[in-house]
Amino acid sequence: MDTGTHIVMGIGLGGLAMIDPAIAADPITSQAVIAGTLIGSQAPDFDTVLKLKNNAVYIRNHRGITHSLPALVIWPLLLAGIIHLFVPGADGMKLLLWTAIAVILHVFVDIFNAYGTQALYPVSKKWVALGVISIFDPFIFFIHLLGIMLWYGGSDPGKTFAAIYAILVFYYIWRIIARKKADALIRRKIPEAVEIIASPAIRYGQYHLAIKTPKQFIVAGLQGGELTVWDVFDREPVPENTMIAAANKDKNLAAFLSFSPVYRWEIEKNEYGHEIRYIDLRYRSKGHYPFVALAQLDEELNVITSYTGWVYSEDRLRKKLDYSPLDIVKNE
């Protein structure tokens, strides 16, 4: 989920914790628990700081180890321990419990969108992405906001958020059923589909689809039960040669390949040598596929410049690449 939703969920869990009379009656413990749920609901995304290093490191690690099985233990112990140092009078076990609930809920809800997490690491490195809920879901966000407003207005926070989370359980069940119905419809329309990767839109009932068949990649949209095919690409395997092997060792292409489950490739001979490009088909915006990885190799198959990330025009992509070493060689 997005940061804003994780924040309101952290506050909501703090309110839900007040259903425990021992917490509600103890101002010191209640304040510590709210701090624990608020920080715990954000902690798995602290890896966002990796963006400061580069996109390759961020893509390889975001929602990886920080969302893993060990993280479900490490984050609560670390955060609750730090908070308890500042609030020693709080009930340590209740603080640990609710901080753990916040961390676990963060990871749990993240597996329902298309980006997913490595929630099963180290048992499995596979990304778990169910494609049921949009990264930002208005209903989830605003029902939490409503609960916070009711709490501020004087309603019992424990009972208020107990009702809200009961509603959300049914909401998730409804969305899971809706996704299953969407899959069934797609398979009726495209019976040769072997895998359907769905990215739910903010509007209900809309999905961006990357569909694998034995011979093709099909990019389509589903809205109101109507399937619209946007693009069809032949599913050609990436060549196995020394040029591709050299390119795939680059940190940017390696990060892309570790993350993207469905992509097409392009190889272009240009004035600098060879350009290898990978294009993620899960994301499409106005006919453009913005999530890419590109490596420029010289004639000796040395990677001169590379990039991976989100770009919405060819001009912007070129500006992110540094061809200066090749230009120097050409001018000599």
Total H helices, total E strands in the chain: 12, 8
In this predicted structure, what is the pLDDT of residue 127? 79
In this predicted structure, what is the pLDDT of residue 332? 45
Helices (H), the chain: 3-16, 21-24, 27-40, 55-61, 71-86, 92-110, 138-152, 157-189, 242-248, 251-259, 314-320, 324-331
| CA 215 and chain centroid, separation | 28
Distance CA 196, CA 312 (A): 25
Distance CA 324, CA 311 (A): 21
In this predicted structure, what is the pLDDT of residue 60? 64
List Cα–Cα distances, 149 to 32, 129, 144, 152, 270, in angstroms. Answer: 21, 32, 9, 5, 59
- For residue 17, the 8-state DSSP code is G
Distance CA 290, CA 33 (A): 41
Q: What is the pTM of this model?
A: 0.85
In this predicted structure, what is the pLDDT of residue 4? 93
298 touches 326 (CB < 8 A): yes
Distance CA 17, CA 26 (A): 12
In this predicted structure, what is the pLDDT of residue 64? 72
Tokens (6 digits) for 220: 């389509």
In this predicted structure, what is the pLDDT of residue 65? 78
211 touches 190 (CB < 8 A): yes
In this predicted structure, what is the pLDDT of residue 225? 86
Q: Is the link from the previous residue into 122 a cis peptide, with omega within 30 of 0?
A: yes
* Helix, strand or coil, per DSSP, at residue 173: helix
Per-residue pLDDT of the chain (332 residues; tens, 9 = 90+): 888 999 999 999 999 999 999 999 999 999 999 999 999 999 988 877 666 566 666 666 666 778 889 999 999 999 999 999 999 999 999 999 999 999 999 999 999 988 778 888 888 878 788 889 998 999 999 999 999 999 999 999 999 999 999 999 999 999 999 999 999 999 999 999 999 999 898 888 899 999 999 999 999 999 988 999 999 999 988 888 999 999 999 998 998 888 888 999 999 998 889 999 999 998 888 888 999 999 999 989 999 988 888 887 777 777 777 766 555 444 44
In this predicted structure, what is the pLDDT of residue 331? 42
Which residues, other chains included, contact 102 with Cβ-Cβ below 8 Å and sequence gap of 6+? 9, 10, 13, 36, 37, 38, 39, 40, 41, 43
Q: Could you tell me which residues are beta bridge partners of residue 28? A: none
Contacts 24+ apart (CB under 8 A), 206-214: 207/131, 207/182, 208/282, 208/283, 208/284, 210/262, 210/281, 210/282, 211/186, 212/262
Distance CA 114, CA 200 (A): 7
Distance CA 119, CA 142 (A): 26
In this predicted structure, what is the pLDDT of residue 328? 45
